[in-house]
């Protein structure tokens, strides 16, 4: 079923790179199915409308100025959005319906799970709503388990149990739970419990594929009573586009062109996680000594990265020479699809995870916080396409960095991982082809929206 042009969807992304990207991808996919797309976004990290000439953009005044977001205040910022954006969105949509309500019908509000205030707005306007979950189903399972873990006395987590397996969530250990190392774990638990509720929304869309998380999706289904649509990986269903908050540096592509096949280790920690000064120095020498060519995203907005690299002794430059390339922000999807890239040292944000497995690139999984820990475990222990890095990047780890890179990319020991990564890429390709599980789910989603 294809939507008629008068069918409009309001998309409300959560304003962080890892969330804006999949929401805009979803918009592109649904626009290709005939829907008119309006993106209602905060002033903070607003997307660039010129990249999406087919969409309408509606700014919601967020009432929060000069935000500087890190993993430390992430939770409170997200909670604040849910308070400050509600009335402005309600008013903006009411105005929109009044102005051209006779021309266009709003079929649904599709909102990021962390922008849960949208459910109230939808109810107020009597419009159906749908949730987009931008993380993994494996991560959502941990949210679903929280009431049980509280009831059984496992939460608050105890230091002595961190290495123990979580009942019914293996291979996760307590330390892998998304809230285990948060300073504001009460705040996070509260946010998670809000984000996890489906309220009156009619369905959940997942940026995942059955071949990635079949068991987890089936388990989740037992706890929810609304339909699920796993339609990912969405970035493989849309033409490449740039909606980055930071500007991409394309010089690394011409550098990659000069490297041999599958020789380059790509290092990036996404848009929120940072290495501290000690970690950067250890990583720099580990990369230098690994003898593999490397492409490293060293973000200047971290405040320290670039200075630390500049201060490395001359011997670093001598060892590395033309073998290393650093950029502030890479065109990551293009990088991962490049024939020269053979491994990804990643923080395991869900977007980076699905971008890597879609290209058959095996990973070194160095998670920092939240869902990244669940994803790292899933990649290494369930899918078998990554090696988990759990050491601290402190003095003396250089040798380990060097060893793990060579193990993933060259040594006989990593052969099985590389092979599994290749196989998974093939399965993902099948799932997005016509008749594949994600492609069929997408058709079901379109029908669901039209019939709601």
Give me the residues that bind ligand UDX (CB under 6 A), please. Answer: 16-19, 21, 134-135, 244, 268, 270-273, 297, 329-330, 332-333, 349-352, 355, 370-372
Q: Which is nearer to ligand UDX, 71 or 289 (CB)?
A: 71
Smallest separation (angstroms) from ligand UDX to the CB of 43:
20
From residue 89, how far is each of 11, 14, 105, 257 by CA, in Å? Answer: 11, 13, 17, 46
Q: Which is nearer to ligand UDX, 34 or 187 (CB)?
A: 187
Residue 156 burial (CB < 10 Å; 0-12/13-18/19+)?
exposed
Alpha carbon distance 118, 112 (integer Å): 9
Q: Which is nearer to ligand UDX, 245 or 450 (CB)?
A: 245
Q: Which is nearer to ligand UDX, 127 or 374 (CB)?
A: 374
Residue 14 near residue 245, CB atoms below 8 Å: no
DSSP string covering 266-283: EEE-TTT----HHHHHHH
Residue 134 near residue 23, CB atoms below 8 Å: yes
> Cis before residue 233, ω within 30 degrees of 0?
yes
Q: Which is nearer to ligand UDX, 38 or 353 (CB)?
A: 353
Q: Which is nearer to ligand UDX, 128 or 360 (CB)?
A: 360
Smallest separation (angstroms) from ligand UDX to the CB of 242:
8
Question: 39 forms bridges with which residues in the sheet?
Answer: 11, 57
Residue 374 near residue 142, CB atoms below 8 Å: yes
User: Kindly report the CA angle at 129 between 1 and 57, in degrees rounded to 5?
Assistant: 85
Smallest separation (angstroms) from ligand UDX to the CB of 22:
8
Q: Which is nearer to ligand UDX, 97 or 246 (CB)?
A: 246
β-sheet with 7-12: strand ranges across: 56-60, 36-42, 7-12, 105-112, 129-133, 204-206, 228-230
Residue 431 near residue 210, CB atoms below 8 Å: yes
**Nearest by Cα to 405 from 391, 387, 385:** 387
Alpha carbon distance 13, 114 (integer Å): 9
Q: Which is nearer to ligand UDX, 36 or 131 (CB)?
A: 131
From residue 141, how far is each of 69, 178, 207, 223, 354 by CA, in Å? Answer: 26, 11, 15, 9, 18
User: Kindly report the CA angle at 148 between 146 and 150, in degrees rounded to 5?
Assistant: 70
Residue 30 near residue 52, CB atoms below 8 Å: no
Q: Which is nearer to ligand UDX, 299 or 406 (CB)?
A: 299
Residue 117 near residue 18, CB atoms below 8 Å: no
Q: Which is nearer to ligand UDX, 92 or 374 (CB)?
A: 374
Alpha carbon distance 38, 115 (integer Å): 16
């Amino acid at each position: 079923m294809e939507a008629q042009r008068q069918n409009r969807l309001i998309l409300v992304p959560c304003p962080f790179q890892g969330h804006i990207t999949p929401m805009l991808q979803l918009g592109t996919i649904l626009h290709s199915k005939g829907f008119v797309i309006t993106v209602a976004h905060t002033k903070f990290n607003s997307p660039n409308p010129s990249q999406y000439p087919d969409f309408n953009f509606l700014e919601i005044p967020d009432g929060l100025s000069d935000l500087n977001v890190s993993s430390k205040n992430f939770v409170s910022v997200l909670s604040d959005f849910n308070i400050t954006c509600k009335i402005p969105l309600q008013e903006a949509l009411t105005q929109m319906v009044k102005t051209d309500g006779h021309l266009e019908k709003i079929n649904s509000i599709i909102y990021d799970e962390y922008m849960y205030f949208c459910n109230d707005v939808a109810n107020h306007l009597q419009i159906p709503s749908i949730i987009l979950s931008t993380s993994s189903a494996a991560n959502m399972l941990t949210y679903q388990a929280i009431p049980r873990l509280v009831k059984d006395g496992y939460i608050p987590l105890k230091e002595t149990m961190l290495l123990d397996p979580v009942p019914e969530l293996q291979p996760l250990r307590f330390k892998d739970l998304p809230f285990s190392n948060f300073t504001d774990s009460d705040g996070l638990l509260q946010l998670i419990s809000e984000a996890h509720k489906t309220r009156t929304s009619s369905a959940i869309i997942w940026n995942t594929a059955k071949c990635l998380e079949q068991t987890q999706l089936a388990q989740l289904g037992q706890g929810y009573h609304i339909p699920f649509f796993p339609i990912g990986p969405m970035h493989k269903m849309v033409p490449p586009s740039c909606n980055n908050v930071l500007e991409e540096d394309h010089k690394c592509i011409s550098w990659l062109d000069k490297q041999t096949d599958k020789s380059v280790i790509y290092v990036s920690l996404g848009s929120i996680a940072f290495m501290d000064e000690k970690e950067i120095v250890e990583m720099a020498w580990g990369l230098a000594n690994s003898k593999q060519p490397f492409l490293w995203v060293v973000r200047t907005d971290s405040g320290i990265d670039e200075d630390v690299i500049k201060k490395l002794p001359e011997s670093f430059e001598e060892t590395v020479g033309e073998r290393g390339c650093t950029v502030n922000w890479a065109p990551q999807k293009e990088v991962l699809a490049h024939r020269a890239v053979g491994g990804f040292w990643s923080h395991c944000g869900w977007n980076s995870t699905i971008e890597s497995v879609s290209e058959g690139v095996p990973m070194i999984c160095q998670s920092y916080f939240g869902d990244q820990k669940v994803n790292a475990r899933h990649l290494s222990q369930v899918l078998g396409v990554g090696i988990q890095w759990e050491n601290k990047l402190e003095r003396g780890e250089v040798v380990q960095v060097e060893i793990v890179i060579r193990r993933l990319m060259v040594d006989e020991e990593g052969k099985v991982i590389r092979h599994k990564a290749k196989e998974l890429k093939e399965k993902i390709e099948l799932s997005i082809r016509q008749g594949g599980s994600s492609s069929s789910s997408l058709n079901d989603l379109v029908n669901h929206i039209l019939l709601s």
